[in-house]
Chain A
Amino acid sequence: MSRYLARRLLQMIPLVVGLSIVIFLLLAAAPGDPVDLLIFGNPNVKAEDISRLKRLYGLDQPLYVRYFKWLRAALHGDLGYSRIYKQPALSLMWWRIGNSLWLQIPAFVLALSVALPVGIYSAIRQYSPVDYAATLFVFFGVSIPAFWFGIMMIYLFAVWHPWTALPFLEWLKLPAGGFSTPGVPEGLARLLDRLRYMLLPTVVLSLLFMASFTRYTRSSMLEVVRQDYVRTARAKGLSETVVINKHALRNALIPLATVVALSIPALFAGAPLTETVFGWPGVGRLLVEATLGGDYAVAQGIIIFLSTLVIVFNLLADISYALLDPRIRYD
């Protein structure tokens, strides 16, 4: 196992370097650099200004020189500077990732806490009304676009909110997007204020997770409950609770653990659509803005960071297999 781990860790190095080259080249190969975009539309900018700015930003140097300069700085923890936000790309990235996690972690936890019981129940009561309802919900969750659902939620809770006619439900008028209310003092008041802003995007975001986790849990559980060892457990006279919890569920959770592990990089990637609809300053929105605005340093930093996370969590998923399932051995 340790040899396997060491081999995989060593393999990661050329993989990440290769990825950084591909990402760097792809971004640099797109026609038009940040200076072209900056000056366009302004008839007063002269040609000398364009070439001077390109020289100042190092955009006049050959691609390989630019790459090695970037790599050397990146190895020292400097991912460059955001031209749009006038901040070091790394600190901007961390801050935005932190914001995304404010949404992603509660959404993830909410999704798991609903998906697990619903998935299990609909598997052990297959073709029951609850199972049909759960399947319908899964279809709804998988197929509904997040931006549409988000806008509907905003309309319902921020614009229409008919229930606020009742005095005790007045608080359920929620903000129509944003991150916090200006002027709210720091501390508990700001935390509670943030929770109000989080409510709608968290629900929208969790719907997607919820649907896919429910589907995985149900199908995995369905497969397990038909196994011989479950039948044996029942034949031994064990109670249904023990059969399901101890014998079936433990085994059914193995594939789900892999799915969950592979979903974790997505938590750090943010959710561009949900973040945009709700005006949440997360990393997903930042990546879209940086790519469209030609903010190379930021776009590159985020993509490379996320790619590395995917590689790492793939490894962790493989390891989790071996830990959870004694039949799997890595040599």
Chain B
Amino acid sequence: MRSHWRWPSLLLAVVFMLGSTTLVGAQQPGRPASGPNTVVLFTQQEPSCFQPVADACQLYVSTVISTLIFADAVGLTEQWKYFPVIAQKIPNLKDGDWKLLPGNKMQVTWKLKKGFTWHDGKPVTAQDWIWAWRVNLHPDYPSAGRDVAERVENILAPDPYTLVVQWKKKYAFANISVASSGVIPKHATEKLFRANPGKFDQAWAVDAPTVGNGPYVLKEWQKGSSITVEYYPKWPGADFMPVNPTVKRITYRFISDTNTIIANILSGAADANDETAIPFIQGLELEQRLAREGRRDYLLTAEPGLVWEHIDMNLDNVHLGIKNVRQALLAAINREELVQQLFQGKQPVSHTFLPTKHYGYNPNAKKYPFDPAQARRLLAEAGYTPGPDGILQRGGQRLSLTFVTTAGNRTRESVQQILQAQWKAVGVEVRIQNQPARTYFGDALPNRRFELAMYAWVFSPASDCEGLYTGDTIPGPGGTGEGQNYPGYKNDEVTRICHAVPEELDEAKRVQLLRRAQDIWNEDLPVLPLYVRSDYTGHKTTLQNWKPTGSNTPPTWNATAWRWAR
């Protein structure tokens, strides 16, 4: 008798034990997935490390989690206002802690707050910033972000809480970071770095514990699954980043498939998701679904940011070298309808190279509303006449262009098809020849082997046009210099302005310069501006103070201010 029941009893025991491990917190809509002191965030990628030296860890998600573990001198709010975190104040020209020196040089003095400590208890001092800057500039260190760091001549530390940054030449954004290299604990990393500078990024990720100085401490990293951080009780607090948060623990879960993330959101297992979790189109569908089902427990927000979707035109092309053709191509497409149809207007039309949120955006730059008649007129003025197949031609050459973008990107492919049809309506033939990302970004663009190329630039609040539209930065065969001026645009005034902007310290003058550059650029139109991309972040409506920035500052910037509604 007993032997008959042994296996069923065992089975029942296993079932019971499995049942007892059901996630705590019931995962009911609106309620925290894992208890009132915890927030469970979902994202697609897993970080490789959290080294805040010039974004050495490469993935955006590293920045998202680094923001919890590391604090810097200055932070950025959702209103794009800089605020002091470890710095006592933000230096400025008026107060004299930002000084202009002879020979176009300058000096910026940072006073640091006392009381900030690394998670191993050692104080955060000026030497830690100097160390990060030296690491970033070491010839063997594989940094991809030295542009600003190289403008710094030297950094001095007259005392442990003062930094004097000496700049080789004027730089407009010298007061938003110490030397754009981050801050790392010198005492915990120096030995590792000196052992092998070329592999420091790898060594710190694998061989040493992550010692941060931010409001949260890395508690547990289950590779391939999740990262959990816990509140650092010695966090002294800063504006927007208070002490003693109600959210003591944040868990980041990595799920690579969007549908699975959506299932987690629908099942209540996700308290929030960052920008990388759900691509725009699926975010839009999920938003509609939640509205349709009357679910108000999870709020998705599409925030237009700094990612600018556009089409580069190769100005060496016999047709695209003609300004009328370029202007006609823009006038022939209905971008307003496109963003309405595809994105319900949540990714706004762009009219120039700077996103609307950028401080230098020019709202009065020339616009090209949808006007097919005007497009035809411009083409006729340039000498184009309809050929036997309806496609325009000039001097025996048909106005036929190839159009390339990243193969497999559904959104871009949909945009391509709409534009192709609209251009055909004015007599321009466009042939779609998409390429895999590696070929496209690795070969076609840098070597300027394209006619029309659609992709996006990711700007920062401090970005400008240097390198992109300066006449001396045209890459590829027959180019004028290394850079990313893929259209091959040359305009002396724009080149001069774009080189001058980073060195103009007066923001009002900088705005003037950028607006002037946009006036010229919009008239010349080397690129077809399409729209500004938005990213969907989401959170349970009961999670308060969730404030995505729409910039490269992640939504975790104010995590200590998050709280669950009672």
Contact = CB atoms under 8 A, between A and B. Distances in A.
Contacts of B458: 41-43
Contacts of B46: 281
Given A43-B468, A81-B202, A32 B438 contact: yes
Contacts of A170: 19, 22
A87 B144 contact: no
Contacts of B22: 170-171, 173, 196
Interface string A206-222: 00000000000000000
A36 B21 contact: no
A175 B269 contact: yes
B467 interface: yes
Contacts of A44: 145, 147, 460, 463, 467
Interface stretch (B91-99, B218-226, B411-419, B540-548): B218-226
B206 A183 contact: no
A43 B459 contact: yes
Contacts, number: 196
A88 B484 CA distance: 33
B137 to A, nearest CB: 11
Contact of B257 (A30, A32, A33, A277): A277
A52 B144 CA distance: 9
Nearest to A92: B223
Contacts of A328: none
A184 B463 contact: no
B146 interface: yes
Interface residues of B, number: 75
A192 B441 CA distance: 45
B237 interface: no
B438 A176 contact: no
A318 B161 CA distance: 73
B140 A31 contact: no
Contacts of A171: 15, 18-20, 22
B145 A159 contact: no
Contacts of B146: 46, 49
A95 B223 contact: yes
Contact of A38 (B58, B260, B459): B58
Contacts of A184: 21
B483 interface: yes
Interface residues of A, number: 68
Contacts of A33: 442
Contacts of A176: 260, 263-264, 266-267, 269
Contacts of B34: 182-183
Given A47-B475, A56-B142, A276-B256, A179 B224 contact: yes
B140 A32 contact: no
Contacts of A289: 256
Interface string A37-70: 1111111111111101100110000000000000
Given A84-B48, A159-B263, A285-B256, A183 B21 contact: no
Contact of A41 (B201, B205, B251, B457): B457
Contacts of A294: 438
Contact of B23 (A42, A47, A181, A292): A181
A292 B409 CA distance: 13
B446 interface: yes
Contacts of B21: 181, 184, 189, 192-193, 196
Contacts of B198: 56
A154 B228 CA distance: 24
Contacts of B190: none
Given A46-B482, A57-B142, A36 B446 contact: yes
A221 to B, nearest CB: 28
A84 B205 CA distance: 11
B463 A37 contact: no
A276 B225 contact: no
A177 interface: yes
Contacts of A151: 259-260, 263
B462 to A, nearest CB: 9
A41 B306 CA distance: 12
Contacts of A45: 144-145, 147
Contacts of A280: 224
Interface in A91-143: 95-96, 99
A150 to B, nearest CB: 8
Contacts of B425: none
11 contacts: A30-B438, A40-B445, A43-B484, A44-B467, A46-B467, A49-B146, A82-B48, A151-B263, A179-B224, A179-B225, A279-B256
Interface of A: 30-33, 36-50, 52-53, 56-57, 81-88, 95-96, 99, 151, 154-155, 158-159, 170-171, 173, 175-184, 188-189, 192-193, 195-196, 276-281, 285, 289, 292, 294
Given A99-B224, A180-B226, A279-B260, 13 more contacts: A30-B442, A31-B438, A31-B439, A32-B441, A39-B144, A49-B143, A84-B59, A86-B48, A151-B259, A154-B263, A171-B20, A178-B253, A281-B225
A-B complex: 7 closest residue pairs judged by Cβ atoms: A32-B442, A281-B224, A47-B482, A171-B19, A279-B255, A177-B260, A179-B225
